[in-house]
Amino acid sequence: MAETEPRKPRSENRRRTLKVEVRFSPDEHAHLLDQARIANKSPTTFMRSAVAGIRLKAVMRYPDDVFRAIIGLSRNFNQLVKKLHATSQLDLPEARELTAKLEALLQCLYSR
């Protein structure tokens, strides 16, 4: 077997030794910060990803109360569907109320 050179420690292979300075206009800087925030990355990580050609997806963050509302609505819809399957009868007022709540929640999410 041929001998190979010993591998460098991972940390030494990954060490970033070069620094690049970039000047931005205030609008460009604001845009960079906004895009990095949407991707849930630091501006530095966002720029490294752009250079590497990595496409970043937006990470949607919502307050806990929005998630609690979604969970509550999903449980209520699940109970309504179980009742419908068991009795073959739909509680129309309850279904309308849940639909209205869902529409309001979706409107809230889309407006953010």
pLDDT in tens, 21-56: 989 999 999 999 998 888 888 999 888 888 888 877
pLDDT reading at 76 higher than 60: yes
Residue 99 lies in a domain: yes
Q: What is the value of pTM for the model shown?
A: 0.42
Separation CA 77–CA 80 (nearest Å) = 5
State the average pLDDT over residues 70-89: 87
Judgement on whether residues 57 and 68 belong to the same structural domain of the protein: no
Residue 54 per-residue DSSP state: P
Q: Residue 53 — left, alpha, or beta (φ > 0 → left; ψ -120 to 50 → alpha)?
A: left
pLDDT for the residue 25: 95
Q: Which two tokens stand for residue 102?
A: 């869902």
State the average pLDDT over residues 7-12: 61
pLDDT reading at 61 higher than 60: yes
Judgement on whether residues 52 and 25 belong to the same structural domain of the protein: yes
Domain coverage including residue 41: 21-61
- The total number of structural domains in the chain stands at 2
